Structure 1
Amino acid sequence: MENIDFDGVDGPDGIINIYTETGTTLADGAWTINPKFRSAFDEATGNLSTWALKRASTVATQNDYFFELYNTTCGTDPVRTAKLILGPYSGVALPPSGVNNVNAQGCDFIGFDLFSAFALDKNTPSPHLNGEWTYNGSSSSFVEIMGSLLLVEIPYQPGLPLVDQEIFELTYTVSGVSGCAIEQTIIRVAMVRQVDSGESEPTYICEDDLLAGVYDLDIDLTNDQYLSGEDIEGTWFPESTGQIENEQDSKVNLRAIYDNLIDNGNNLRFGIERFNFVYGVEQRSAVCGDQTTVVRFMFLEELRPFKQRNPPFQICNNIPGEIDLYDFLEFTVENGQSFEYFSDTNTNWRLVSGSSSLGLHVLSPPDPDYTHRGTINTFQAEPGTYIFEYGVSPSINSDPANTCDPYATDPLSSFYCEHPCDVMTARVEIEIFGFEYTGEDTKDVNLCESLEQVDLRSLLTTNGNTIATTGIWTNSTGDVINNTFVFPNLNSSQTFTFTYTTTNSGGCVEATNLVFTIHKEPNAGEGSIATLCSDDLTITLFDLLSGNPDTTGTWKGPFGYTSSDHLGVFDISNVMLPVLGAGNYLYIVPGSDGCSTADTSTVSITIVEPLTIGTDRSETFCKIDGSVNLYSLLDRDTPRTGIFEDTDNTNALTKDGIVEFETLTNNIYTFRYVITNTQPCDQSSLNVSIQIVDLPTPVVPAQEFCILDAKRLEDIEVDVLNYNWYTTLESDTPVIDNPLLYDNQVFYIATVDTDNCESERLEVLINILNTGERFANGDLCTLDFQDGVSPNGDNQNDTFHLLIDEVYNIPEAFPDFDLKIYNRYGSIVYEGNINTEEFRGESNISVRLGDDLPSGTYFYIFTPNFENNLPIQGSFYLSR
């Protein structure tokens, strides 16, 4: 395959065409290959890259390459099959180089991939992968070949030459099937030794060894105790302690490092510190790398002693609550720095002696509730001496970032190292004293005042123990009380709180509280009789009792009535309450926990009915109506035996119930109608309200118009929005048309509202001025006709107008008018009246009838022919 050239360009390419090799075409169908070899085969063209097939054919069928031809005629069955037998190819070694003629060079530290010694370019395929490697020598440096990885170990030779290497010759053999020969390729590889900076384990030093002088002298870092197996050609790197002054210097003084660390006692709590010294060996060949080793020293702060503060601690066993043993410890202080140790993982409390552990949680075996506080509970504990021990592991100063944790306790742990520092412990001694029993706190004791006195200790509850008789009783103010308590005189039930206290020889105080209530005997008071009016059934039954009754009772009455409290409230206006009915109501005060017998009293209720008077009334009247009889406004069922009261003090009400409107204004007036009832019913009453509508009289100024205006009734300005015009003062029919106004004409106007109320009527006199007369303000009543006529059809001055919108209406003002128009020679050219078409530049005189008059100045005489109105004359210009 290495010699196949499909395209004939730039040397071999290893491509064959399946269609050519099998004598088929695209019309016969499409060739396919096993999907795992699909990247080597182009099904569209049939080109197969044999260089992309990485294994030579062998007897084993998995290395045979099969092809199948499919078309639409045969469907899922192949039309034809073909098999490619690929001969072995062992590749081409890289060109040899150097004095030793080697094909490649590798480092023994990581091994060498032998396939990297083969040439690979666009004209040279890679070797088949199903071959075998063999070593052609017998060097003791040879280790093995794993797949294609060569593993060797080149021995170290101190001194010159610095490059330690050895050449290995190997053969790569690829076998073929029958008809294809075996192929072999020989390569030479120079393997170089990787330099070695040695191995080192961290050295853990407890502070007490440093203080004892164990490390006062210099140490050599190259000693096997600190660094072993290193190449001697290496150097030391500078570091922060300043101990190594040059790269060949391997001696350091750990005591000097420690003294610098604690800074004259200012840094005693350093916990754990690392000091690293780095030894490095540079590479001998580019195929290998530099190597460094860290020689690490770990300085570990030693634990300072601690002890119990002022032992022993004494406590009485009747004090509830927990105490912390940790609070009794006193820790070392050096140079102003406290060596206090608290941790929930590196400390432990344990009971040394005592009848119980008092609920102490310990770290071992693991207890999830353990805390360094060492919490115990001495309440009701057995009296005696208890000794506890607090232990602190030196791992409390650990740093969890260490790869080797000197504080790990499990030797099987990968982080375990033997800790160089010691555990520190101290003991805490506690003495627990007993007390004299006073019973249990007691409350909710109920007594009746009839007992008169009681033995207080007999009221206390107990847990089964006997109550001591040596205690004393005190009240809330501290006064001493006798055990036999005599009841005081009480006005109501009263609760007392007393305390019973004992003190034993050990100074332990025990106290118990007693709360009891002395109850008054129930008192329902004295009953009564009450009469109510049915229109006011609002009453509180409790208010009808006498004799200072208790407020703890409830009521029972007729119609299944029961009260929710002692009041027995009835309110006729509250729909949530029942309605009071006539009958006997029983007040029941129940017995209490101390006094069990109930007490009762009775209230008897009688109800009187008032007269039915009806409902309130209201009406609206126009002031011009004059008056109204209030009795006429009452319902037909309302008795007429009552009287009206002038509640608004209008002084318009007569004793006969008539209201005169003359002095009333726009307002609503209320009058009360009252009928006297039988006691205890109050008067029956209702209200009658009347609303008076008093409209203002319109204000209309003197009416003065020019006759030329031809004004109508609606043109008169009025100061109100709603009004009616009348032709007479007494007329009931308003003017509904809009008549033309004439001189000396009289109208009457009145304000009206939506309810047809009217104000007083105002007389309005019409004054029409004739032409030539002046208004009261001096303006002249006259007519100014237009000064030009242009009959050109532009709708502007096409005629000599007699009807001027919104200004004058000549035909309506002067229906008998006469208009004559003359030319400049004095000849009449037009004569018109109300029945004549307006002058539009044509003559309507028989001599020149219909002629278009020439442009020029024309003269007119307008005669009103109405009363004393004078003729009006002037001129205009006719333009064409």
Structure 2
Amino acid sequence: MDIKILKLSKKYFFATIIALALFFTSNVVHSQCAGNDANITICDITNPTNQSLNLFTLLGGTPTPGGFWIDDLGSGGLNSTTGILNVHQIRESGIFTYTYMVTGIPGCVDNTATVTVLVGPYAGVGEDGSRCGDDTELNLFELFNYQFGNVPPQTNGYWFNNTTGTPIAGYTINPSSFNVTAITVYNLTYTIPALGPCPESSISVNLTLVPPVDAGTPQDINLCSNADLSLYTNVNLYNLLTGEDSGGTWTDNNGTGELSNPSDSFINIQNIYNNFGAGTYSFTYKVLPISPICDFKTSVVRITIEDPIDYSGILLQVDTDVCQNQVASSTFTGVLTQSPVLVPNGTYDVTYTVSGQATPVTITVTFNNGIATFNIPSANFPSVVTYSINVTNIVATNSLGICVNPIPTIQDNLTIYPVPTLANSNLAVDDVCQNNSTIAQLNNLVGLADGTYIITYDLSGSNTASSQTTTIVVSGGSSAFSIPGSLLPNSGTTSITITAIQNGTSGCSAPSSVAVSFMVNPLPTAIAMNVSAPNSVCLNQPVVVSISGLGTLTNVTINYDLSGANNSTGNVENLTLVGGGATFTIPQGLLTNTGNTTITITGLANNVNSCGVIVSNVSDVFLINSLPVAPLSTDQTFCESNNPTVANLVPSGSQYFWYDTASSTVPLSSDTPLVSGGDYYVSEINANGCESTKSMIVVTVDQIPAPVLTSGGEQFCGTDNPTIQDLSDNTNASTTVVWYDALTAGNLLSSSQLLQEGVTYYGFDISASTGCISKDVLSVTVTLTNCNETPDFFIPDGFSPNGDGVNDTFTIPDIQFIYPDYKLEIYNRYGNLMFEGNKDKPNWDGKNSTSKIMGDVAPNGVYFYVVYFNKNNKAPKQGRLYLNR
């Protein structure tokens, strides 16, 4: 409630500032059906008439009854139905507005009127009060008289401590913060600030603080009975208090008889122990206050004496080691024993830890004749491991821990053995030949620790056996055992099922159903086997041998020996058979000599089932011929422009073959282009079809690059009469380049031939050492307009177009080179345009080619020309010329 009052104060404060300004500056009357706005100031708050202020009667004009009222600022004093305002119910001073609203009345426009009420300050009726000096909070609004019809104080005031000369924050104080040591009176003032014409209102009250009493802070004595109690035969209880007030009395709470009267404060602790034994004995000190407004205070001093306990020689035994599948159904009991008996009979709190468990466990046990038992939940042993159970503390249930009772090492181990399991394991057995032993491989033995195990298995299918046992050694999740060949006399599919497994150390066992099938394969037969080799081959050529007569076999390994001109033994070849036969090539490294060689098959194995037999009397003979001598040849050079091919190499002929690598077996075709810097190999084949070793040559293809034109090298000035030699001089091969007037079938141009505007010339470079011409060409289109005006540039002043072959046209010499974009205009003396010329139409023959009002032939006389140079911003030039026929 108090917090809400403070929040309303802030709201009213800002509203008051605005309303106060309106209250004193505005009294505009508007004709409204709800009446005209009004205002009123109330400074005498306690006046009884202010409990029923009729706001309707305050409205100006002619307000229409039947409307309703709104408390705009939530002052809390308005009856919105009757319009009666009770100012005594407004808890703060300030300016409040109340709106009267009329709605739904025929002939009257809906409207409102406002009554503004200034409520002046009122501090209430004060009343003196008293408090004990150890109270922690006092609401200062308790220091008011609310009886006999007194109007409560407004809440938007402030307090001031006149005695200390300090303001009070808020409306509560902490009496204990004054730390009074004697009765002290504080004069406090509560003030509501002035508002408008209403002066401030204040009241003063006296607050009396009575000092509390202090029974002191006790200091207990805790003793072990093995201490020297003779030091505690005359203990003054006052020495066990701090800060107590004097004049109090003592009470013996346990009837030890140590206090002779309430003023006696001396006790003999040794007597207490001798008479009553170990225990806790208390004495209460009581101090009365100087005024009933404060409570009396007490302090209790406690003397505690404990006997020590000897835990030496205590042993722990935890039963019993079990297999993992027995944990849930097993009861694990810890037994504590001490002999000879030293631990007194009674209950004790025993704390123990189990390795792997983070939180120590404390349980209550009962020692009787030096023996105590307790159960350890099986949940403490979830894993296959050896657990260490350690008792870390033993404390008598009622002990305060005063005596130091050393705990020896009290520990025992409990082992949870794994149940051997082959779950998720993989059993694989190698296929085997009849009457041979095979290996059974166990992998992914994630449930088995390294060690020795005994397994039991059965065989079924083509071969049968029951309850066969064998010992396996597991390491790293894998193991293997042998199935004796004596159990596998028959070919066909055989299944093995492991029916049980037992740990060789712990004896823990479990059933199993891991099974797998494997094949007992028959031995191959070589009765109809045959070997065939070619009659003769060339040295270093492949010798392809054919094997046949192997019936339905599809994939075999044979062993063979070579004898005669070439000798080797123990050779092996894997063959894929079709129709009982296959071919293979004897490695050339085994056939280094010429002459007759015999191949003899010595063994045969079926790769499908890895079964094999020894072979005899299967052989054949073949002849190895010698090779011709390698041909002689030297390195050769060609021009790139001639597009050389293999056909250009020497030696040539049907007995010679060219290759691009020493190991290639496919000759190059005669039209294969030659590569510069490439290695080429030539061999010769003799009458026996044997090919010699290869001789190598290096081919050089002389590659002449096309000449390169210097930047701007195609640009000349026609007035210089440039020639082919000038064009050559503008390349990087000025002395060796040759030029043609066409790319193909062109004419060779002499170095003195003049260049022509816009003509394309084709240049090739020639090697001075080899005479090879470049394969690529330099194409240059010449321009003769790269000219500057020369000092002797002139425009003729006449011509004679009479057909005598001399000066028959008006021509400006070299202008097409110097000003290639020029324009020429010729006018007669009447200003008629006679002729327009440019580089494509440079000469005027004296005929009218432009004006339609003139004849075709221009008569003798003076004519005028205008030359537009159209270069370098050169201004046009005008002049005259004389035409004389």
Question: TM-score normalised to the size of structure 2?
Answer: 0.37
Question: TM-score normalised to the size of structure 1?
Answer: 0.37
